[in-house]
Amino acid sequence: METKEKILITLATGTTGYEITKELLKEGYPVRIYVRSGNKRANALENLGAEISLGEFNSYLQLKDALTGIKTVYYCYPIMKGMPAAVEIFIEAAKATGVEAVVFMGQWLAEFDNQESLLTNDIKKAYQTLERSGLNVVYYAPVFFADNLIAFTESIVQLGQMPSPFGDGKCPWISTGDLARTAVALLKNPFPYIGKKVHPTGPESIDAKQMANVYSKVTGRKVKLMPVSDNMFMKAMMAASDEFGYNAFMAVQTTFYIQELRKNRFAESAPTDVVKKLTGTEAEDFESIARGFINHSPYNKSSFSGKVHAIKNLMKIIFAKVPDKSEQEALNSNQ
């Protein structure tokens, strides 16, 4: 019987890393997860068979310890400042421990010029550093995650309104399941893709009107678009910080991504057939994704109490405090 090499997953308690880890464990791969704390999700993965290694992304010694005995790594940096320096530390530790392949979670927008997002430009710098490093790297650069739409579910189901900061921009939204399955395929066989940028997407680029029509079909009620400004979008993220783990840095960076979506950046070279090629299965369409959101949501059925809760959340959004212009500039600067 073929021995399966242990794989290291960084940020394993994040949306994608968590699903990647579960999928690998299900397929019988030994997995070590690199996490900053032994939280509920980390403990759940440990119960499934994962080995936990605690550490920070800027610690050479902790990374070296986590990488010892590892040949293949999924490297995903948190949505926070400091990526370029952290990647240099990772490279040093990976070389010292004999890592053979890295699947690096990048970003599609990092391949476009004139990006304003600090995080996007940090990923550009990370690409350049990794390309010079001599490591075998696959650059995993998906389109916009459909998971970002989960926060809209309550308003859609209870109020029949889909908040939309997207304008007329189109996007081939990709499901978390497809993200995980394609990443797992790359981790199991990275070498045909070394040095390449891999772009998994959903099967169709759709705009906000089409999304609202899908939600109308799925919920069985008319769902209307509710256009929102960038400022209101940031307010919504800040208001949902406790429920979804958002923070001011995420809100500012995501607003830049929304602005790029309105320019149709995600539709210019998409959709791709990467999911089918890597997994043998067609990518989930938006209707399937939307049904999944609603079926797994505590707000999945319209009710009087649900509407009251949704209205309270709308009021919470209206009065949420967002970073002012100078604070936004600071959040988008390495200073």
CA-to-CA distance for 177 and 9, rounded, in angstroms? Answer: 16
Rounded distance, CA 88 to CA 274, Å? 29
Contact 50, 12 (CB under 8 A): yes
Burial class (CB in 10 A: 0-12, 13-18, 19+), 182: buried
Helix, strand or coil, per DSSP, at residue 105: strand
Residuewise pLDDT in 10s, the chain (335 residues):
568 999 999 999 998 999 999 999 999 999 999 998 888 999 999 999 999 999 999 999 999 999 999 999 999 999 999 999 999 999 999 999 999 999 999 999 999 999 999 999 999 999 999 999 999 999 999 999 999 999 999 999 999 999 999 999 999 999 999 999 999 999 999 999 999 999 999 999 999 999 999 999 999 999 999 999 999 999 999 998 888 888 999 999 999 999 999 999 988 777 999 999 999 999 999 999 999 999 998 888 889 998 999 999 989 999 999 999 999 999 999 87
Phi-psi region of 220 (alpha: psi -120 to 50; beta: other; left: phi over 0): left
CATH superfamily label, 146-173+202-269+280-331: UDP-galactose 4-epimerase, domain 1 (3.90.25.10)
Task: Decide: helix, strand or coil at residue 198.
Answer: strand
Do domains 7-141 and 146-173+202-269+280-331 share one topology? The answer is no
Q: Count of alpha carbons within 13 Å of 106, Cβ hemisphere only?
A: 29
Taking the domains of the chain in order of start, what are their residue ranges? 7-141, 146-173+202-269+280-331
**Backbone conformation region of residue 98, classed left if phi is above 0, alpha if psi is from -120 to 50, else beta:** left
Question: What is the rounded CA–CA span in Å between residue 75 and residue 109?
Answer: 18
CA dihedral sign of residues 24, 25, 31, 37: positive
Measured in whole angstroms, the distance separating CA 237 from the mean position of its chain's CA atoms is: 15
pTM of the model: 0.94
239, 316 Cβ separation under 8 angstroms: yes
Separation between Cα atoms, residue 187 and residue 45, nearest integer Å: 18
Task: Indicate the CATH number for domain 7-141.
Answer: 3.40.50.720
Own/partner contacts of 55-61, CB < 8 Å, gap of 24 or more, are: 57/10, 57/82, 57/86, 57/89, 57/90, 58/82, 58/85, 58/86, 58/89, 59/89, 60/89, 60/92, 60/93
